[in-house]
Structure 1
Amino acid sequence: MEMLCTLRSVTEAQRGALLQAPERLEDFLDDDEDFGDAKGGAFLELDIGEAWHALQYLLTGTAWEGSAPLDFLVRGGDDVGDIPSDEGTARVFAPAQVKALATALKDVSENTLRRRFDPAKMQAQDIYPGTWDEPPEDSDPLEEVLSYFEELQKFVAQVSRRDGALLVHIG
């Protein structure tokens, strides 16, 4: 089973509603209709696919630990619960946490990420998807992860500018 990561902007009201009724999480994630944010704009969504664990590792230097806020892909926020149909999990972050995350991501240099990229160490630590020691077929895995990082920086900054909350779903 693939483990993919999607990030979605949510309003503070939606964050509160998900925490009060986690059983509605799956319906919320399956909602393809545009729902508005607090300022009347459409929700934002970013799919980082299988790159989530590599990003976690490059941001924190660890597979499952690290310091907040940069460990947000695998830890932190408020747990909304598990999703039975896809065996996934979701966590939500309050607007203040999103602002701190946007600042922290802005301060991460590409050189730091490049220095931490070590396919042998990533394979040894079982960084998903676990194919780091295989020769790349048609793309450079580091460049692909760096591309996702750039999109992640932009996305979180945009959610922060909207004073939005953030939902991180891995499943």
Structure 2
Amino acid sequence: MGLIANYSCLSDVNLKELKAMGSEEEEILESVEEWNDDDELLLDIDKMWDVLHFMLTGVGTDHKDDKNPLSQAVLGVMAVEAISDYVAYTEHNHLANIVAALDQFDIESALESFDMKACKEAELYPNIWDYEEEEEEIKDEIFHDFEQMKRFYKQVLEANGHVLVSIC
């Protein structure tokens, strides 16, 4: 197992409920799991969230940039504090900027300069950077996850929803 990133569409009601929970970790994590199970708009990028953030921003997720919509796409805008797993949300009013930034990002050019050694030096999760024979598969997975993320954010924007990010 490992840390897996899931993105789901959050309704106004569920967002309000999440905000009202404060730091009740068990309640938050149970609700997140329930909402993810019930949601038809769900994106699972498995363990590639850190390297995707690196491809989009040039830094790993340890360096979240609250002003960069590409960083927000991976990590959300508002992190829920004081819980052990990573949970964050992005309200609808931020989604158009994220969609525009994802649309403008040239993933193919970024992948041309993809470097397994740079990922290892940046200590990106997961620790797979010594498997150079799998580089093409990893690049294909990053491309696929990026395209799925673009599609997901567009769908949530059109549905007038919010985005819930969980990395557990």
- Point out the structure with the larger helix share: 2
Partners of 1:82 and 1:43 in 2: how far apart?
28
Q: Which residue of 1 aligns with 2:114?
A: 117
Amino acid at match of 1:16: K
Amino acid at match of 1:8: S
Q: Which residue of 1 aligns with 2:77?
A: 77
Report the TM-score when normalising by structure 2: 0.84
Q: Which residue of 1 aligns with 2:57?
A: 60
Amino acid at match of 1:2: G
Q: 2:30 aligns with which of 21, 27, 32?
A: 27
Q: 1:104 aligns with which of 90, 101, 106?
A: 101
Partners of 2:37 and 2:74 in 1: how far apart?
27
Task: Give the superposed CA RMSD.
Answer: 2.2
**What number of residue pairs does the alignment pair up?**
161
Query: Share of identical aligned residues, percent?
Result: 24
Partners of 2:109 and 2:75 in 1: how far apart?
21
Gaps of 5+ in 1: 35-41
Are positions 1:164 and 2:137 aligned together?
no
Gaps of 5+ in 2: none
Change (3 A) 1:25 1:70: same
